[in-house]
Amino acid sequence: MTRLAAKPARPVDAPPKPRKPGKRLFGGGAGTMPEWIAGVAFTSPWIIGFLGFMALPIVLSLYYSLTDYSMLEPPLFIGLDNYTRMLSDDVFWKVMRNTVLYAVVAIPVGTILALIIAALLNTNMRGQTFYRAAVFLPTLVPLVAAAMIWMWLFNGELGLINTILSWVGIRGPNWLGDASWAMTALIVMSFWGVGRAVVIYLAALQDVPQSLYEAADLDGMGRVGKFLNVTVPMVSPVILFNVIMSIIETWQVFAVPYIMTQGGPDRSTYFYTMYLYDNAFPFGQMGYASALAWVQLIIILALTALTFVISKRFVHYRV
């Protein structure tokens, strides 16, 4: 039996041993896997997921939009019928109108509200942390739970909102059951989640150089003047970001009206995505639903592009 000699101890100040080639997955050198292969290998779970669950469905949905497809039978190619059908579909125009109305009111009012709240929360006041938390907290409540709470707040007979209105002698409407008030109720409810935008504006506000306010003070500008002439231009890139996100979100609004009104009464709160969903699943018209989805994508892209074009006149970027 051969006794192995003891390995001599390595001095602590000795230079590091050269790495053995071929053991590392990436890093280059002779005998190692090329970096790009290693990169692809490690990102392959995401790539496979993207190809399988995003890219393929996108391509298939484009094909299905040209077919009649109930999912129970093979798709039947019908050319552009699904797209031309939209032109004479009253419900399509109804959901377009509802979605545009919602977006036209909810986005500007929500943006202005968020900006004002952020500006107020950016001032030095007692309990500032509490107020910031209070504004942000509602965004942490799951949408379904929030919708259930608001259903009770808007209740025509027992709701808190109508109870408060009754204290000042106003008989409140049946918010969600009345076609002329249901959309208003949903727009009001959309401000529940304003805290998320407020946080982003707050971060932007804290980045506005103090020197600009000092210069405005020297010019004798008041608080409103400073807000309009200093604050708003300086946070305008963030406003643009929030507006674009809001455009995308409002065109995809689904869960809240689906829970609170199911699109009623008289389809007054029936939104684009709800109609898309109804066609895809309950009605078994996946072809028409796919066409609706592509039109929705085109609308969102067009609105986003339009917003960017318009923003060139209003958005101020610091160089």
Partner 1 sequence: MTTEGKGHLSRRAAVGTMAAAGLGFAVFGPRQAQDVPPGRTVVDYWEKWTGQEAAAMRLVVDRFNRSQDRIWVRYFSMSAIDQKTTIAIAGGDPPDLVGLWNFSLPAFVEADAVLDLKQLDAEFGAEIATAFRSRYGDADHRLRRERYAPQVWDMCEWKGQLGGISSACTNMGLYYDKAAFRAVGLDPEKPPRTIAELDSAAEKLTTYKPDGSIDRAGFIHREPGWWNWLWGYHFGGALLDPATGDATAASAENIAAYDWLQTYPEKFGTARLVAFQSGFGGYNSVQQPILAGKVAMVFQGSFIANVFKTFAPDFEYGAAPFPVIDELYDPDRPIGLMEADVLCIPKGAKHPREAYEFVMFTQRREQVELLASRHAKPTTLRTATDEFVRDHPNKFIAMHNKLAVSAGAFPKPQTRVWPQYEAEFNSKIGSMWERTETATEALTQIQERGQAQIARMRDVTQRRYGDRA
Q: Is the CB of 179 or the CB of 305 nearer to partner 1?
A: 179
**Scanning residues 137 to 156, which ones bind partner 1 (CB under 8 A)?**
155-156
Q: How far apart are CA 71 and CA 285, in angstroms?
A: 8
Least separation, in Å, of the C-beta of 82 and partner 1? 11
Distance CA 319, CA 315 (A): 13
Per-residue CA distances from 101 to 5, 181, 229, 243, 271 (Å):
85, 13, 30, 16, 10
Rule CB under 8 A: choose which of 9, 157, 313, 317 binds partner 1. 157
Q: For partner 1, which is the closer residue by CB, 201 or 258? A: 258
- Per CB under 8 A, 179 contacts partner 1: yes
Hey, which residues between 51 and 70 contact partner 1 (CB under 8 A)?
Answer: 68, 70
How far apart (Å, rounded) are the C-alpha atoms in residues 277 and 283?
A: 9
Binding residue for partner 1 (CB under 8 A) from 96, 147, 176, 243? 176
284 binds partner 1 (CB under 8 A): yes
**Interface stretch with partner 1, choices 101-109, 120-128, 140-148, 263-271 (CB under 8 A):** 263-271
Q: Is the dihedral of CA 98, 106, 278, 300 positive or negative?
A: positive
Report, in Å, the least distance between residue 261 CB and partner 1: 10
What's the CA gap between 28 and 34, in Å, rounded?
Answer: 6
Cα separation, 138 vs 58, in Å, equals 34
110 token code pair: 């929500």
Compare residues 7 and 23 and give the one whose CB is closer to partner 1.
23
Of 228, 230, 206, 204, nearest to 216 by C-alpha is 230
CB of 42 to partner 1, least distance (A): 8
| CA dihedral (156, 159, 165, 166) positive or negative | positive
Residue in 54, 266, 297, 306 binding partner 1, rule: CB under 8 A: 266
Asked if 72 touches partner 1 (CB under 8 A), the answer is yes
Contact between 25 and partner 1 per CB under 8 A: yes
Please report whether residue 76 would count as binding partner 1 according to CB under 8 A: yes
Element (H, E) at 68: strand 67-68
Query: Of the ranges 51-59, 259-267, 294-302, 308-316, which one interacts with partner 1 (CB under 8 A)?
Result: 259-267
CA distance 298 to 108: 22
Q: Which two tokens stand for residue 205?
A: 């506000």
Query: Which amino acid does the sequence have at 220?
Result: G
In order of 134, 162, 185, 262, 289, the CA distances from 152 in angstroms are 21, 10, 12, 16, 32
Binding of partner 1 at residue 177 (CB under 8 A)? yes
90 binds partner 1 (CB under 8 A): yes
Q: Rule CB under 8 A: is residue 174 a binding residue for partner 1? A: yes
Amino acid 293 reads A
Give the residues lining the site for partner 1 (CB under 8 A): 19, 23-25, 27, 68, 70-73, 76, 78, 90, 155-159, 174, 176-179, 262-267, 270, 278, 281-284
